[in-house]
Amino acid sequence: MKLADFKVLTFDCYGTLIDWESGLYEALRPLLAAAKVSLKRDAVLAEFGKREAAQEAATPAMLYPQLLAEVHRQLARDWGVTLAEADHAAFGASVPNWPAFPDTSAALQYLKRYYRLVILSNVDRASFAGSNRRLGVSFDAICTAQDIGSYKPDPRNFRYLIDAVAKLGFAPKQILHTAQSLYHDHAPAQAAGLASAWIDRGHGEAGGGATRSPATLPRYDFRFATMGEMAAAHERELRA
């Protein structure tokens, strides 16, 4: 199997293209300071990740800014501090401020020359539009949790993705799903019959941060530490 065998790259955004953990942690700093939380960054992100996954499962139709605000509200209660509703709302609105990984834009611009590019993201349309300005490319289709009414790893999200790509004229076997989260993306992509490329942004680091670990390690077809590595691997294939 080669990267050049595929015609469509479908992407998770947050954790894969956008550095969501750095963005999250920066947006959580006011709460951490108010609550005098002494946990290390990875532990803080793990607490967020548990709350986020539970809230996504409980309220699949809730828009992501409201969901983030609710998780922020829960963390404040957990850590024994009372904040204004505006503070929770500010955290919910922070997504467009989250930075892209340094390699993302150049890699996407290179890959756009050879593939259709599609987003499958656990956010709302407005939040993704803010992030898209950091990514440097136009996507051929954008599928958000707002459009679908559920959050990954719900199988509905991948059925919706496959249908969206079919409207572009491509079959599932032509799709390579590209993502960081084994839990949110690779396990359900495998169940949907899609090939996948793991962008292992956390390689060499202890702990899972804000991303839950799957019960069993799912299959993936390619593994790269960064999007830059993926683009370079494709370029090597073409030269060979």
Q: Is the pLDDT of residue 199 over 90?
A: yes
What is residue 208's predicted lDDT score, i.e. its pLDDT?
56
Q: Do 110 and 160 reside in the same domain of the chain?
A: yes
| Overall average pLDDT of the 117-138 stretch | 96
Among 55-59, 144-148, 203-207, the least confident range:
203-207
Q: What is the CATH number of the domain that holds 87?
A: 1.10.150.750
- pLDDT band (50, 70, 90) for residue 211: confident
Q: Is 136 exposed, middle or buried (0-12, 13-18, 19+ CB in 10 A)?
A: middle
DSSP-assigned beta bridge partners for residue 176 = 9, 195
- pLDDT band (50, 70, 90) for residue 58: very high
Domain end call among 52, 79, 97: 97
For 72-124, the pLDDT digits (tens) are: 999 999 999 999 999 999 999 999 999 999 999 999 999 999 999 999 999 99
Position 215: which residue type? A
- pLDDT band (50, 70, 90) for residue 209: low
Q: Do 68 and 116 reside in the same domain of the chain?
A: no
Q: Do 75 and 48 reside in the same domain of the chain?
A: yes
| Overall average pLDDT of the 36-61 stretch | 94
Map tokens 């390690």 to a residue: 217
Q: Do 231 and 150 reside in the same domain of the chain?
A: yes
Q: Do 33 and 10 reside in the same domain of the chain?
A: no
Q: Do 28 and 15 reside in the same domain of the chain?
A: no
- pLDDT band (50, 70, 90) for residue 216: confident
**Mean pLDDT of the chain, nearest integer:** 94
* Full strand arrangement of the beta sheet holding 175-179: 141-144, 116-121, 8-11, 175-179, 195-199, 222-224
Q: Do 131 and 88 reside in the same domain of the chain?
A: no
Q: Do 49 and 87 reside in the same domain of the chain?
A: yes
Could you tell me the residue range of the domain that residue 172 belongs to?
A: 3-19+100-239
Q: What is the CATH number of the domain that holds 193?
A: 3.40.50.1000
> Bigger pLDDT: 203 or 118?
118
Domain end call among 77, 97, 117: 97
Q: Do 110 and 166 reside in the same domain of the chain?
A: yes
Of 12, 103, 154, 185, the active-site residue reads 12
Q: Do 133 and 198 reside in the same domain of the chain?
A: yes
Q: Is the pLDDT of residue 214 over 70?
A: no
CB of 13 within 8 A of CB of 85? Answer: no
Q: How many separate domains does the chain show?
A: 2
Domain end call among 97, 121, 144: 97
12 is catalytic: yes
Cα–Cα distance for residue pair 148/153, rounded to 1 Å = 12
Q: Do 77 and 139 reside in the same domain of the chain?
A: no
Q: What is the phi/psi pair of residue 5, to 5°?
A: -70, -15
Q: Is the pLDDT of residue 36 over 90?
A: yes
Q: Is the pLDDT of residue 207 over 90?
A: no
What is residue 203's predicted lDDT score, i.e. its pLDDT?
67
Q: Is the pLDDT of residue 205 over 70?
A: no
Q: Do 145 and 74 reside in the same domain of the chain?
A: no
For 156-197, the pLDDT digits (tens) are: 999 999 999 999 999 999 999 999 999 899 999 999 999 999
